[in-house]
Structure 1
Amino acid sequence: MSYDHVLLPSGAASTLAEVDAYLTTQDGQPATAVVAEIAAELDKRNAELPEADAFLGAPAADGGIGATLFVSTPYDSIGHVRNLLFELATPHGYAVYDPQLAWLVDPAGRVPATVTHGGAGEFPYLTRELAHLWIPGLGEPGPYLIVETGDQVYIQTYRHPNGVYDLEYREGSADKHFTITVDDAAEVADLVWEWASGDRTRFDTLNWRRLTF
């Protein structure tokens, strides 16, 4: 079995139904220049590796359909391929769609950050939409999300089985490390996004406790 990702232009869709509709409009179309360029680079990097280390399940060039690119990979290469897709596609204004998880990761409105999703690995940016997609769905075996924008500068949350979230942020040093408990997923997502985007307006109104170890 293989794992699939699909690239499509940022803004082409915002819901899963719109993704499906957009993909349908591309059926039978020749690959655009951007899609062909991304596919060629994927195939080039794949060809540079020994066959045993290949990360594509099929030539990427075969997956170019109109303005979309279907990329198939073995399960043990999912993280590597996803990172490559962000590296190659984001500068061209392309979103990454994961049909297995039903996640559309669109760079529109993004804040560059190292985002660690406990169940799915690392991502290179956060958007408001992703915060509201990921945080309510956190669960075992990794019910946490970390957004890091600098050395020891981060916000993170952990979702307990009862739906309560621990939320904490650190601003570079131990004396600027605070925590709070929140029982509403949407509020956690809002706070994570506000912190990441530089809006700390609500933070001073909450009962943060300084975290000590």
Structure 2
Amino acid sequence: MGFSGDFVLARSDRPLLELPPLGAASCGECADGCLHPCAERTGGWRTAQSGHGFLTDHPKGLLRELVASTGAPALLARVMDSDMCQVWGLTPSGAQWTVLLDPVMAADYDIPVPGPDEVRATAGSIAGWAAEAGFAAEPGALLSVLTKRADPFVEDLFFELIDACGLPPADPAPAAGDGPDTPAHPGHRADARCPRGAELEAAVLDLARDRHLVLECAGDDQCYAQVWLRPDGTYQLEYRDRDPTEHYWTRTSSAQRVIEALTGWVAGDLAWRESFQWSSLASWFTEPTA
């Protein structure tokens, strides 16, 4: 159970929601237009996340409108349950490409896996996209991203792809040890892409049924919290504490309790755990002992 939704990367001197293509593609019900900004990169390169997609079955059309609006190359990524991620790229000159990240998982979904020649050709197209954006892609890094497995979330590969294109790094989160340790564990800090404050509240309230919100820890990839708005309208809240044997879940009908719990997780607090009765999910992720 992971994240399902879209990510978009574009260059703009104003918030992405203010760009007509993205504002028009929102559901019209979310207070912030369904978009939650990720850490910004220098030069006006902005990334945003939509927890239930941009509500279009025509991502190429949305991408064309976005490129026309900004006059710069752009990317759109569609993620399914943190397993599958298809990325589309387009430039003002009309050069375009698409790629599925984590080809091994794609094969599990019976999607044909490209051969080495096709992977190299796609990497070349992506390098051309980067060049038109004004950056020099790293060929080896591109090939690595296009062939590697997700560990554990495929959306992380999307951000690795952006990095491999040579774009400037996002504003970094504080390194472990730069601040006082939290009660959660030494080095616990929410990833820079995690929504906080009002953005976190909106992300929970805007969840569509059968959709997820995942918060990752930048200090340990086996530490995360997530919430699933089940089809019946209740919330399934989960957290993992650095090991698959320490994975727990609970259910609640209260969005406010979920917001308070995730706010506590982001802060590295532990008191929020005491507000729920938890059940272990360790058996889902570990082999039974003989």
TM-score, normalised via structure 2 length = 0.37
TM-score, normalised via structure 1 length = 0.48
